Amino acid sequence: LQQRRGLRLSAPAAIQVTVRDALNQALDEELERDERVFLLGEEVAQYDGAYKISRGLWKKYGDKRVIDTPISEMGFAGIAVGAAMAGLRPVCEFMTFNFSMQAIDQVINSAAKTCYMSAGSIAVPIVFRGPNGASAGVAAQHSQCFAAWYGHCPGLKVVSPWSSEDAKGLLKAAIRDDNPVVMLESELLYGVPFEMSEQAQSKEFVIPIGKAKIERPGTHVTLVAHSRPVGHCLEAATVLSKEGVECEVINLRTIRPMDIETVEASVVKTNHLVTVEGGWPQFGVGAEICARIMEGPAFNYLDAPAVRVTGADVPMPYAKILEDNSIPQVKDIVFAVKKALNI
């Protein structure tokens, strides 16, 4: 009636949603949408998940759709891969991706390679997901970033969300994909609220795998990051803006296949490149970006060498002050930008 009278109706406002709740929404919507989807992992059912990502799902969908497993990553990852080959769409949660090393034979030799080795006759629609990279005070065996490890392997798609929209849209896309997808989340972001648009609140909202997002446009330097360091880059960009330096911040979103075209277009505009990641420097995601830029058309537009900001080249220390100095901070990004711009 109001529309017929020519009155403007206000669209539903964006809402604040934590990354945890966004992941829970995505799982709930996909379990409801497709009866082939099921979730398995340690403590995902009655306990609602070690990080409460699966809160309420066991009560809603029951034992066959949300399955608690023993502490045996090789075993339950193998069950999940076999289920995917048989036509189901499992979501396999690792309590931390450091523990996925127990199951790396299943992830790489079974999931990643089977479609290729079967000449496309056997699809493996599976999602491996869980917290990746540094948490807080959990030392070396729980703090490694596996983006470069899994991004190295053909046959896998690898996504790394930052915001709540990233988390929801990429998880839904991963579950619907017919390829094995590794989803690397950040435990430190689970409780962080982000604005979620009206579009992202839809049950059909997905983010295409393989497409980066420009979070902040700029003209002087390109900052490329994934996961939690995207937020650090935005903070650094705010600091640098007060000094007259405008940073273009790119949220990579996907590690493999990498959207190098978006990075190239930005470098052509800004003539400078800084990569930021929480992982180790050698053979890292930033190293791959730098190599791809050097090998492509954007290299001719660089006015200075690219600069990498990474985690320290050491196993993660336990002590907080050492931990803080092993992970890229805002001040490290500001320093790297000034180095790239020679200011």
142 noted as active-site residue: yes
Catalytic position from the list 29, 142, 165, 220: 142
Residues 154 and 176 sit within 8 Å (Cβ to Cβ): no
Residues 267 and 340 sit within 8 Å (Cβ to Cβ): no
Nearest residue to 161 via CA among 143, 185, 144: 185
Instruction: State the Cα torsion 259-263-265-267 to the nearest 10°.
Output: -170
Place of tokens 């579950």: 175
Q: Say which residues have a Cβ less than 8 Å from residue 48's Cβ, sequence separation at least 6.
A: 54, 55, 56, 57, 58
Residue 188 gets the label, from left (phi > 0), alpha (psi -120 to 50) or beta, of: alpha
Q: Say which residues have a Cβ less than 8 Å from residue 205's Cβ, sequence separation at least 6.
A: 165, 168, 169, 172, 199
The alpha carbon of residue 191 and the mean position of all alpha carbons in its chain are separated, in whole angstroms, by 16
232 noted as active-site residue: no
Catalytic position from the list 73, 165, 264, 288: 73
Residues labelled as active-site residues: 73, 142
